[in-house]
Amino acid sequence: MSQKPVALVLHGGAGVLAERAYDREIAHLEELAIKGRDRLARGDKAVDIAVTLVRAMEESGLYVAGKGASPNTAGRYELDASIMEGPDRRAGAVAALEGFVSPIQAARVVMEATPHVLIAGAGAADIARSHEVEEIAEPESYYTPAAVADDREIATGTVGCVVLDSEGHLCAATSTGGTLRKRWGRVGDTPIIGSGTWADARVAVSCTGQGEFFMRANAAADVSARIRYLGASLDQAVRGVLEDIGALGGDGGIIAVDSVGKVSARYNSQGMKHAIAHPDGKITAGVR
């Protein structure tokens, strides 16, 4: 392991049912956390690790992101994603993107190849296509919704990753198919920098849950603000934001890592699929 602390946290969504087992998802998250840990030990960059791991979750069909996304009320698959790097607060996001395997790769293109932070709809597809982000060959048969449209099924299942690399750089990435039965054109917290995703020199944060509440709480950025202005610990800051969301009537979860490798994975829903690669190399994973 490198001298400086490294750590990462992954989530596969806070929309879980108390009575259901999530063995496949947890095994998958654990496997990805091990891959991430090994890449951190080799000195790979936070942004590269975050994009690779989020893409693997998008492609798996196990979560409500990428292949596992659900259609909106108009029967369309409109996906959201965002990424942010800590050192210079560079950020990129796509909203209501249709037709691509990996929305997080499209978000990275927005961050690295444009002066913009957020591009939506057909414009997002255009920039992704012009940078050769992989298009879905047969959109009609590609998606295998992980949340079946049945009232007992989960309404949320975003994926996210936060990383502290051996250079001390933080990165956060989040990708989603959005909430179940969302309206055509609805955009949630996931592509909104400060709401669903945040990274600065202090902390990297990725959220999951009822996006409208995370937007009204400015959730991801508020984790950093609580550390900065209140002197809160990372875990206190995450709990404080979830209390605020709970007071508004919302639920969900938050993962975060700070610049010294402290990690937090909390939720006020029935659980959150997550895995952690701790600074000592230990891997932990679970739903609750």
Q: Which of 15, 92, 103, 145 touches ligand ASP by CB under 6 A?
A: 15
Element (H, E) at 172: strand 170-176
Q: Which of 70, 105, 179, 259 touches ligand ASP by CB under 6 A?
A: 179
Q: Binding of ligand ASP at residue 70 (CB under 6 A)?
A: no
Residues 138-157 that bind ligand ASP (CB under 6 A): 156-157
Minimum CB distance to ligand ASP, residue 37 (Å): 24
Rounded distance between C-alpha atoms, residue 196 and residue 184, angstroms:
20
Q: Which residue among the candidates 52, 73, 144, 158 is catalytic per the annotation?
A: 158
Helices 46-60 and 103-113: crossing angle in degrees, nearest 10, is: 150
Minimum CB distance to ligand ASP, residue 147 (Å): 9
Using Cβ positions, the residue closest to ligand ASP within the complex turns out to be: 211
Q: Binding of ligand ASP at residue 197 (CB under 6 A)?
A: no
Nearer to ligand ASP, 188 or 279 (CB): 188
Comparing CA positions, the residue from 47, 238, 245, 262 lying closest to residue 161 is 47
Minimum CB distance to ligand ASP, residue 41 (Å): 30
Minimum CB distance to ligand ASP, residue 39 (Å): 25
Rounded distance between C-alpha atoms, residue 287 and residue 228, angstroms:
29
Q: Binding of ligand ASP at residue 206 (CB under 6 A)?
A: no
Q: Binding of ligand ASP at residue 176 (CB under 6 A)?
A: yes
Q: Which of 70, 105, 158, 268 touches ligand ASP by CB under 6 A?
A: 158
Rounded distance between C-alpha atoms, residue 147 and residue 261, angstroms:
33
Enter the tokens of residue 2.
Answer: 């490198």
Q: Which of 5, 13, 92, 194 touches ligand ASP by CB under 6 A?
A: 13
Q: Which amino acid is at 176?
A: T
Nearer to ligand ASP, 165 or 222 (CB): 222
The number of residues that bind ligand ASP (CB under 6 A) is 16
C-alpha dist (Å) from residue 36 to 20, 45, 164, 269: 27, 10, 11, 26
Enter the tokens of residue 116.
Answer: 């913009």
Minimum CB distance to ligand ASP, residue 11 (Å): 9
Residues 182, 129: contact at Cβ < 8 Å?
A: no
What is the helix, strand, coil percentage profile of the chain, to 5? Answer: 35, 25, 45
- 3-class DSSP assignment, residue 11: strand
Q: Does residue 144 carry a catalytic annotation?
A: no
Nearer to ligand ASP, 201 or 248 (CB): 248
Residues 114, 107: contact at Cβ < 8 Å?
A: no
Minimum CB distance to ligand ASP, residue 168 (Å): 28
Q: Binding of ligand ASP at residue 189 (CB under 6 A)?
A: yes
Rounded distance between C-alpha atoms, residue 81 and residue 199, angstroms:
15
Enter the tokens of residue 123.
Answer: 């414009």
Q: Which of 12, 209, 250, 271 touches ligand ASP by CB under 6 A?
A: 209
Element (H, E) at 177: none
Interacting residue ranges for ligand ASP, rule: CB under 6 A: 13, 15, 64, 156-158, 176, 178-179, 188-190, 196, 208-209, 211
Catalytic machinery residues: 158
